Structure 1
């Protein structure tokens, strides 16, 4: 990722982390202890995943954007597929189409369900999208062989 994109994503991530922290502060000030503990768990997961899945990988790639005490993440080499260019292109097209169809489900659920049900299903749909994106990354990182 280029440095400019990394800086922008870090800025958005830091804003989202601050907003999440602020929402937890509001709940702490306005609600009972049990409610705060429950909400704090959700907020903590949001902030934790934001760090482990977005902030830390960016800072590991661009150490100049990390704080002085930051310890870079270890890079784990994934096994790479061996594909022809034709197969790679077909798989990416298929995964892109699948992503679009599954993503559209979130909008459909939001428009046709109550708010609680919609939020739950949108989370589940998101998990499916995560795995589609991981498959895309795997296919795009493949060793492309000549026919």
Structure 2
């Protein structure tokens, strides 16, 4: 077998492995826009998700070389991430074959009165539900296989 054949075979088998990593997804089902930035050692530019269907995806899950994990910070105000406004934090850490994910509020409850659901597309994994937009208490950290997307839905039905 030639070197070229071996290289092509290796690339062909590696491609499915690279695509087997899931994504962190935010879906805005709220009647208002939301603003977010993906943060680790550095922060992405603030993005606006339009109301009733805007979405964001960090794909595949990202391993930050300095912090290890990532946090997608979400506010209801365009400058909220820089002015101390209430924010919802969707944090995740890719750990080999697993992804750990959780939710937390900082500086108040940005989505008070609105249902928030964070879950893997793998139905066998843990679900975080905040019926009124605030932490209802209890453990909020979940873990699932890294091959499935984790979706945070704001203002979930």
TM-score of Structure 1 vs Structure 2, range by shorter chain: under 0.3
Give the number of the structure whose residues are more often strand, by fraction: 2
State the TM-score, normalized to the length of structure 1.
0.23
Structure number with greater Rg is 1
